Amino acid sequence: MKKIILTGDRPTGPLHIGHYVGSLKRRVELQNSGEFDEIYIMIADAQALTDNMKNPEKIRENIVEVALDYLACGLSPDKSVLFIQSQIPELCEMTFYYLNLVTVARLELNPTVKSEIQMRQFEKNIPAGFLTYPVSQAADITAFDATLVPVGEDQSPMIEQTREIAKRFNHIYGDTLVEPKILLPDRNACMRLPGLDGKAKMSKSLGNCIYLSDSSDDIKKKVMSMYTDPTHLRVEDEGHIEGNTVFTYLDAFCEDRYFEEFLPEYANLDELKAHYQRGGLGDVKIKKFLNNILQDILNPIRERRIELAKDIPSVYEILKKGSITAREKASQTLSRMRKAMGINYFY
């Protein structure tokens, strides 16, 4: 069986450092490993419209932002197919069939969708498309015969739902669809990076983000105003690590080499944490360290992004070509499905 990756992002805003550690960095590594036969990276504009129906301009504008983030991080059109979801109408047809393979009760159990509904204050006015977006996501994944889906932890219920739909389809109509596996980040802190306020997950829709495109000054300002430990009032006080967002970010981004470069008094993160816990280490010092690390990671990404943004038509050209390739693949899968379902009347 071919090894195939499908993953993507909603164009609801430019990408942030949660995306970077949750999925983007891993995608680039997998792409460059040469171990995969096909890689599809989707900008999920149709999914983004399920909770932004009245704001299509926002989605339209952010397509190019997300594409620039992809290219700046090292996704390459020579190795990966970068495409736009709405340009693949086959996905809608698949979704329509899959909707018969799930119950409303099952959809209502999805914990990610549940918390998103709460966050968006839909209450009784949940758009039907929003409740069913995990089904459309199952179409996105199975249309490309994806074997592996590298994503953050909030996507676990979606991959589970996809596997259930694929299994059900195969059981009823015969072996047709590939059941994908999820690939979660290897560090705990990267599974669901919290927002700058330390409360909810960092999310474009909440605006609690450090964006990959933020200026060096903005990153510094955001880091210096980050939430730490409310009981750590004076430098000599004992500090807490749990729930301290600066340490969560250090867990997500720190490498030992950064100590040598920016904070040589400590050998590693464990030593820094121990000092903070016993007291005598101020918040400003750890924030400056985190700022240095983020600048080191984000400066080259931002510089590449600025270069790429000088030629926007080329970015659209990449997405156009990718969408043509993606459509060919999805249409082959759909033919296979129609045949299995016996709705290929004229062939």
Return residues touching ligand ATP (CB under 6 A): 9-10, 12, 18-19, 22-23, 151-152, 154-155, 192-193, 201-205
Element (H, E) at 282: none
Across the chain, which distance is largest between two alpha carbons, in Å? 79
Q: How far is the CB of 24 from ligand ATP (least distance, A)?
A: 7
User: How far apart are CB 138 and ligand ATP at their closest, in Å?
Assistant: 15
The smaller minimum CB distance to ligand ATP, of residues 72 and 334, is found at: 72
- CA–CA distance, 24 with 40 (Å, rounded to integer): 13
Q: Which is nearer to ligand ATP, 90 or 154 (CB)?
A: 154
Q: Which residues 6+ apart lie within 8 Å of 53 measured at CB?
A: 127, 129
Nearest distance in Å: CB 9, ligand ATP:
4
Q: How far is the CB of 133 from ligand ATP (least distance, A)?
A: 10
- Please say whether the dihedral angle defined by the alpha carbons of residues 311, 9, 53 and 84, taken in this order, is positive or negative: positive
Distance (Å, rounded) from C-alpha 146 to C-alpha 307? Answer: 32
Give dist(CA 293, CA 284) in Å, integer.
14
Closer CB to ligand ATP, 201 or 232, in the complex: 201
Nearer to ligand ATP, 138 or 281 (CB): 138
Contacts of 281 (CB under 8 A, 6+ apart): 235, 239, 272, 275
Distance between CA atoms of 322 and 316, rounded to whole angstroms? 10
And the tokens for 125?
Answer: 């006015």
Nearer to ligand ATP, 101 or 119 (CB): 119
**3 state DSSP class of 43:** strand
Closer residue to ligand ATP (CB): 12 or 80: 12
Question: Which residue of this chain has its Cβ atom nearest to ligand ATP in the complex?
Answer: 22
Q: Considering beta carbons, is residue 25 or 338 the nearer one to ligand ATP? A: 25
* Smallest gap from residue 248 Cβ to ligand ATP (A): 11
**What radius of gyration, in Å, describes the C-alpha atoms of the chain?**
22
Main-chain phi, psi angles of 11, to 5 degrees: -80, 60
Cβ of residue 154: shortest distance to ligand ATP, in angstroms? 5
CB of 301 to ligand ATP, least distance (A): 16
Which residue reads 């240095």 in tokens? 292
